[in-house]
């Protein structure tokens, strides 16, 4: 596995001051790997000059990097879109995703690759000793525990972006649709074998975090789809049958109970819950239809404003990527 071509993807939004030192650290790691390595920086509409910093440091890191690709999006499209764009531009047999804020340590990349070579399809980082304030760690622990219990995917740290993947897993997800926050769950739905290793976590020294307490509410909103994907990702028809049968049975029990007690409030409650369940089921069905259409990959390609490639053979002259 260590001799496969490696792609490292860095989604970045306003990370000036972090990108240059991070790319130097990645280059130091790449120099010790037997595999050719490319880094793809996806700038998600930064307003602080982050793309310029990448261009300035490019001559110093190519080589040892074989390629450094800078992809600029048309606006601030979000980390999920930036991640998808990076995957679509990756050429490696193995893909590593990591944050651009320098809290992930590139020195952990060989550890991820080593575990991947044991036969796994995904190796997820676990920030067991997080260097974040309680406003980030407490919501994260709650969300991780809830999702592990509800989906049955035993990953301690869904919020850790540092992961290594076999390319086929991410390429499939990029076509169908993914969410950067729940990558192990999406991968499990594809039948991927997942392992976990403890990784270093460093305090943020430059810039500001983009996440906080609102992540808990996002998890609650996404929970029904994630549970469905984890349990019925490879058998969606069986999942919809089970879902419909359960909703029908509960609705019937509620109707009988409300008729027996002659409680109007109970009748109204059952009707509201049944209607909500119907809309939830329609949402899941629509999501699957969109995943099968492959339109999300097309949307991601149209989000790209510009690409610049810096090659090891000509480190000082960027060229427009094909």
Dihedrals phi, psi of 97, to nearest 5 degrees: -105, 140
Which of 125, 140, 139, 270 lies closest to 200, judged by CA? 125
Same structural domain, 169 and 263: no
Same structural domain, 24 and 52: yes
For residues 167-194, give the mean pLDDT. 82
Distance CA 82, CA 79 (A): 5
Same structural domain, 38 and 104: yes
Which of 252, 253, 232, 257 lies closest to 243, judged by CA? 232
Same structural domain, 127 and 139: yes
Same structural domain, 194 and 281: no
pLDDT tens digits, one per residue of 19-29: 999 999 999 99
pLDDT of residue 122: 92
- Domain assignment present for residue 1? The answer is no
Which of 9, 10, 13 lies closest to 211, judged by CA? 13
Same structural domain, 246 and 306: no
Same structural domain, 168 and 131: yes
pLDDT tens digits, one per residue of 287-317: 666 666 667 777 888 888 989 999 876 444 4
Same structural domain, 10 and 154: yes
pTM, full prediction: 0.75
Q: Is the peptide bond before 149 cis (omega within 30 degrees of 0)?
A: no
Number of C-beta neighbours around residue 214 at 10 A:
9
- Give the CATH number, domain containing residue 150: 3.90.550.10
Domain that holds residue 148: 6-227+296-320
Q: How many domains does the chain have?
A: 2
DSSP assignment of 210-250? S-STHHHHHHHHHHHHHHHHHHHTT-HHHHHHHHHHHHHHH
| DSSP run (H or E) holding 117 | none
- Domain assignment present for residue 277? The answer is yes
Same structural domain, 182 and 253: no
Three-class secondary structure assignment of 261-289: HCCHHHHHHHHHHHHHHHHHHHHHHHHHH
Cα four-point dihedral sign 244, 184, 132, 102: negative
Same structural domain, 286 and 304: no
Q: What is the mean pLDDT of the chain?
A: 80
Collapsed DSSP state (helix, strand, coil) of residue 180 = helix
């Amino acid at each position: 596995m260590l001799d496969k071509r490696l792609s490292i993807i860095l989604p970045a939004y306003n990370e000036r001051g972090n990108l240059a030192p991070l790319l130097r650290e990645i280059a130091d790691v790449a120099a010790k790997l037997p595999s050719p390595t490319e880094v793809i920086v996806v700038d998600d509409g930064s307003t602080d000059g982050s793309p310029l910093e990448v261009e300035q440091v490019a001559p110093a890191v190519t080589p040892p990097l074989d390629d450094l690709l800078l992809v600029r999006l048309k606006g601030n499209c979000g980390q999920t879109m930036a991640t998808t764009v990076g995957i679509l531009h990756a050429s490696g047999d193995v893909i590593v995703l990591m944050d651009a804020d320098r809290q992930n340590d590139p020195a952990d990349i060989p550890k991820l690759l080593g575990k991947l070579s044991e036969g796994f399809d995904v190796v997820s980082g676990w920030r067991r000793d997080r260097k974040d304030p309680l406003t980030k760690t407490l919501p994260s622990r709650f969300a991780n525990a809830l999702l592990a219990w509800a989906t049955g995917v035993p990953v301690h740290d869904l919020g850790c972006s540092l992961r290594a993947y076999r390319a086929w897993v991410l390429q499939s997800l990029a076509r169908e649709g993914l969410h950067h926050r729940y990558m192990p769950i999406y991968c499990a739905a594809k039948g991927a074998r997942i392992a976990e290793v403890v990784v270093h976590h460093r305090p943020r020294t430059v810039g500001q975090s983009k996440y906080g307490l609102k992540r808990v509410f996002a998890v609650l909103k996404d929970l029904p789809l994630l549970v469905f994907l984890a349990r019925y990702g490879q058998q969606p028809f069986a999942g919809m049958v089970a879902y419909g049968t359960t909703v029908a049975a509960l609705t019937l029990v509620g109707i009988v109970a409300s008729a027996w007690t002659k409680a109007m409030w109970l009748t109204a409650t059952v009707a509201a819950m049944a209607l909500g369940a119907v809309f939830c089921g329609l949402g899941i069905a629509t999501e699957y239809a969109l995943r099968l259409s492959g339109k999300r990959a097309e949307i991601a390609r149209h989000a790209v404003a510009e690409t610049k490639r810096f090659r090891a053979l000509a480190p000082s002259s960027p060229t427009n990527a094909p």
